[in-house]
Structure 1
């Protein structure tokens, strides 16, 4: 399993395409648009910090989903069939791929955090920065599972389109691009049920010096169970077809 993990990590480092979308996009957006919220207080924290967390979450979710969607190309190329003839158990292969998805979510959080520190002097203190990074890394698990479900369940061309539409819907409705504070009441209620909102809430509450909310963790856990079930079913079907 360690050998397979090293192999996947090397593949991740050698393919910078995901970073272009998940890192540079959120950083550029923050640098250009974060000034409009400088005097606001959003989601319990100052505007620049709130926007930082939302855009960091935007990039992290994009990174987690994109790596998972790449599984569809590997499946079409016969890579999964090759893995099945190795001694590596299926659950370990899937676990490694899910872990790689979450690792890919770390650079956007770091990069947007640096941009916020430089442009708006956002300072959370060392302890909160570390807690923010760890929570936003761990919080990408449901999105990694969703990405794997798309990759195992759909062909390459369809997977890319579905992945983008799912990501865009989750990002917009979850308040990652525009804070849910500005949403109408009905849309705000929808946002609170989204895993993306509850994911970003981990960061917002950390920046405010609060622990994660019980409701938020419950919503994230529920979505994680749903996405895990879908991913497991998609993997079983892909195995049967292969």
Structure 2
């Protein structure tokens, strides 16, 4: 099981799309915007360089969770590798848990690199009592997006899963307020944003840096989305297994 997880992680680290969209893009986008708006403050008195840290770390983590689950899962199913795994001593739950664990491991580079850029280039400083819940909530909160990726990978071919995952990734980022503050979005889209798991996911971090702690309402909504998308992924996986 550990060897399988290691293979999964190494395979994604060799993926150019993962490096560009998940590792480099969030850091570059953070540095560009932080150098333009970094000294401004939001309504809570938080510097934009810190606010953008949460936004871009959340984007990178969301992108990583989907890129490391949807396409590889579809490729494994299409190539017959998933069928081979199913006849090994590994139980089905272990295959899914390993995929989940590998995807969560691959979330860490974007979180840590954006945080390092914020500290080293923008002088962002927070006590450990904020850093720890911030990084933990942004890391653990990716579970619903990994589940969404597995759902896509169970339904679509590898060629179709990639654009579908990228469309979902960009839509969730835009509607979740990760690229632009939700208050700057039009009325209808602003209302829609509050239903998005990505908004409540990022709001965990925005509340932490504002000194409000981790809001239980957002935690419950993220958990609910994880349960719904996890159930959908499990159902799609069972259907894919029966067809195979």
What TM-score range do you get, normalising by the shorter chain? over 0.9
Corresponding residue number in structure 2 for 1:158:
160
**How many angstroms does 1:43 deviate by?**
6.8
Higher mean C-alpha displacement, 27-36 vs 77-86: 27-36
Partners of 2:167 and 2:45 lie apart in 1 by 29
Where does structure 1 differ by over 6 angstroms across 4 or more consecutive aligned residues?
none
Q: CA RMSD in A?
A: 1.8
2:63 match = 62
Matches within 5 A, 1:1-242: 1-15=1-15, 17-34=17-34, 35-36=36-37, 38-41=39-42, 45-69=46-70, 70-242=72-244
SS at match of 2:95: helix
* Change in 2 beyond 3 A, CA 1:104/1:153: same
Distance in 1 between residues matched to 2:135 and 2:180, nearest whole Å = 21
Gaps of 5+ in 1: none
TM-score (norm 1): 0.93
- Tell me, in whole angstroms, the C-alpha distance in 2 between the residues paired with 1:68 and 1:80: 13
Would the aligned equivalents of 2:44 and 2:210 in 1 still touch at CA under 8 Å? no
Does the 8 Å CA contact 1:44/1:204 hold for their aligned counterparts? no
Q: Deviations over 1:23-80 (max 9, x none)?
A: 1101111111222253131677321111111111111100000011121111111110
Task: Report the number of matched residues.
Answer: 242
Is the contact made by 2:66 and 2:145 (CA closer than 8 Å) also made in structure 1? Answer: yes
Contact kept in structure 2, 1:175 and 1:197, CA below 8 Å: yes
The whole-number CA distance in structure 2 between the counterparts of 1:7 and 1:164 is: 23
Question: Equivalents in 2 of 1:153, 1:43: separation in Å?
Answer: 43
CA contact 2:152–2:165 (8 Å) conserved in 1: yes
By how many angstroms is 1:204 displaced?
1.1
Residues 44, 165 of structure 1: CA spacing in aligned structure 2 closer, same or farther, 3 A cutoff?
Answer: farther
Tell me, in whole angstroms, the C-alpha distance in 2 between the residues paired with 1:44 and 1:217. Answer: 24
CA shift digits 1:181-212 (9 cap, x unpaired): 32234332221211111111111122123222
Give the distance between the partners of 2:10 and 2:204, measured in 1 at CA: 30
1:157 Cα deviation after fit:
1.0
